């Protein structure tokens, strides 16, 4: 089955810790994205990547970092610099980031700061 | 003012009713208009997309875009309890080097009562 997997489903972090959220896709898509979803605010773009070893900041990149060493993988690190990290994190992919292409979403990771 | 405005609801209707969901937007550069459905604790899935103005129908779902009024709608006919979900509108515009960016509304939580 082709799709996007995210792990873990639930993640708890203590203040001051960095945590890494996993995102893997087997759709052979070039582009991958990370969004954050908060109640009443829809989805906001954190980072996106058009191709391996390249990524760009989205609207709310502060306190986050990413890497794209493989086409299939786009992990997101939530650093201690992110002041309010409790949220639902969604990874997505599309064939390319230029022109319109459907973005497919993973099941999400719910991060809670204790 | 947000680029995309969507009434978060919640909206509750009886089974079989016609549901109307709406979004307004301010950026005239938006070219593609999408509706996503998101079940609780899941990732969004694309329901329909429309390019520019006009109507598009898919089974019980109809999407309308009025670019002159900067207003989009999703109609659900013969609504079913399985349609209970959060519906997100999204729009795309270029953001440098030909790349497309999705801007999401806040989402409307819909409940269909048997």
Which residues, at least 6 apart from B69, have a Cβ–Cβ distance to it below 8 Å? Answer: none
**Residues of chain B neighbouring A90 (CB-CB closer than 8 A):** 43-44
**What's the rounded Cα separation, in Å, for the pair B71 and B82?**
26
Question: Is B102 within 8 Å of chain A by CB?
Answer: yes
Task: Tell me how far apart the alpha carbons of residues A58 and A61 are, in angstroms, rounded to a whole number.
Answer: 6
Tokens of A114: 């204790």
Please compute the mean of the pLDDT values over residues A86-101 and round it to a whole number: 86
Residues of B in contact with A4 (CB under 8 A): 43
Query: What is the rounded CA–CA span in Å between residue B71 and residue A107?
Result: 29
Q: What is the pLDDT of residues B53-74, one digit of tens each?
A: 889 999 999 999 999 999 999 9
Contact B54, B65 (CB under 8 A): yes
| pLDDT band, residue B51 (cuts 50/70/90) | confident
pLDDT at position B94 is 65
Q: What is the pLDDT at residue A57?
A: 94
For A26-73, what is each residue's pLDDT tens digit?
Answer: 999 999 999 999 987 789 999 999 899 999 999 999 999 999 999 999
Residues 6 or more apart whose CB falls under 8 angstroms from that of A30 comprise: A50, A51, A71, A94, A95, A96, A97
């Amino acid at each position: 089955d082709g799709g996007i997997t995210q792990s873990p489903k639930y993640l708890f972090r203590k203040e001051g810790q960095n945590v890494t959220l996993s995102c893997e896709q087997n759709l052979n898509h070039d582009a991958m994205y990370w969004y954050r979803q908060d109640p009443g605010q829809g989805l906001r773009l954190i980072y996106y990547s058009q191709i391996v070893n390249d990524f760009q900041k989205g609207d709310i990149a502060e306190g986050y970092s990413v890497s794209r060493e493989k086409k299939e993988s786009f992990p997101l690190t939530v650093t201690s610099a992110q002041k309010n990290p409790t949220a639902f994190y969604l990874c997505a992919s599309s064939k390319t980031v230029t022109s319109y292409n459907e973005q497919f979403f993973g099941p999400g990771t719910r991060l809670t700061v204790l | 003012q947000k680029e995309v405005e969507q009434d978060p609801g919640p909206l509750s209707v009886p089974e079989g009713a016609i549901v109307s969901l709406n979004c307004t937007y301010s950026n005239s550069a938006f070219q593609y208009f999408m509706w996503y459905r998101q079940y609780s604790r899941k990732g969004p899935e694309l329901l329909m997309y429309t390019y520019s103005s006009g109507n598009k129908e898919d089974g019980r779902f109809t999407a309308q875009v009025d670019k002159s009024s900067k207003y989009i709608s999703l109609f659900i006919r013969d609504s079913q309890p399985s349609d209970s979900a959060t519906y997100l509108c999204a729009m795309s515009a270029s953001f440098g080097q030909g790349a497309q960016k999705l801007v999401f509304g806040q989402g409307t939580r819909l409940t269909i009562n048997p």
